[in-house]
Structure 1
Amino acid sequence: MTDSSKPDDDAEDEALPELCDLCGAVVSGSTEWYALVPDSSSIHAVDARFDGKRLVVGCVKEHLAELIKQYKRRPFVDAELWAGKIARALQKYEGRISEEDLAAETGLAPNQIEAAATWQNIEVLRWREQFGKDGPDPSP
Structure 2
Amino acid sequence: MVGKSILLVEDNRQDEMLIMRALRKINLANTVDVVRDGQQALDYLFREAEFAGRPASDPAVILLDINLPRINGLDVLRRLRADSRTGLLPIVLLTSSDEEKDRLTGYEEGANSFVRKPLDFTEFAETAARLGVYWLLTNEPPVK
Q: Larger % of strand: which?
A: 2
TM-score of the two chains, using structure 2 as the length reference: 0.28
Please identify which structure carries the higher helix content: 1
Of structures 1 and 2, the one with the larger relative CO (CA 8 A, separation 6+) is 2
TM-score when scaled to structure 1? 0.28
